[in-house]
Structure 1
Amino acid sequence: MTMTTRNGNVAMITGAAGALGQSTAETFLKAGYRLVLIDREIERLQQKWNGRDGVLCLQCDLTDTESIDTAVVTAPGSGKHRLRSPRQLCAAGSHRYACQQARHA
Structure 2
Amino acid sequence: MKSILITGASSGIGRATADTFLQAGWRVGLIARRADRLHDIAQGNARAIPLPTDVTDLDAMKEAFATFLQTAGRLDVLFNNAGTFGPSGTIDEIPLAGFDEVISVNIRGMFIAAQLAFAHMRAQDPQGGRIINNGSLSAHNPRPGSICYTTSKHAITGMTRSLSLDGRPYDIACGQIDIGNARTELVDDLNARAQAANPDAPLMPMMDVQDAARSVLHMAQMPPGANVQFMTVMATKMPYIGRG
Superposed pair shares fold, TM > 0.5: yes
| Residue number among 47, 50, 53 corresponding to 2:43 in the alignment | 50
1:101 is aligned, of 86, 92, 97, to: 97
Q: 1:16 aligns with which of 9, 13, 18?
A: 9
% identical equivalent positions: 31
Tell whether the 8 Å contact from 1:24 to 1:91 is kept in structure 2 after alignment: no
Residues 5 and 75 in structure 2, CA contact (< 8 A), matched pair in contact too: no
Flag structure 2 segments of 5+ consecutive residues without an equivalent.
87-95, 101-244
Contact 1:20–1:92, Cα closer than 8 Å, also in 2: no
Cα distance 1:52–1:65, how it changes in 2: closer, same or farther (>3 A)? same
**Scaled by the length of structure 2, what TM-score is found?**
0.33
Cα offsets for 1:34-66 (capped at 9, x unmatched): 111111111111123223121111011011223
Larger Rg over CA atoms:
2
Matched, 1:86 2:82: no
Alpha-carbon deviations, 1:12-49, whole Å to 9, x = none? 10000012111101111122211111111111111232
**Structure of higher RCO (CA pairs closer than 8 Å, 6+ residues apart):** 1
3-state SS of 2:78 partner: strand
Q: Residue 34 of structure 1 contacts residue 55 of structure 1 at CA under 8 Å; is this kept in 2?
A: yes
Question: How many equivalent residue pairs?
Answer: 91
Give the SS at the match of 1:53.
coil
| Cα separation, 1, equivalents of 2:99 and 2:20 | 40
For residue 76 of structure 1, give the secondary structure of its aligned residue in structure 2: helix
Q: Which has the higher helix share?
A: 2
Coordinate RMSD, CA, aligned? 2.5
Using the size of structure 1 for normalisation, the TM-score is 0.71
Extract unaligned runs of 5+ from structure 1.
1-7
Cα distance in 2 for partners of 1:102, 1:57 equals 28
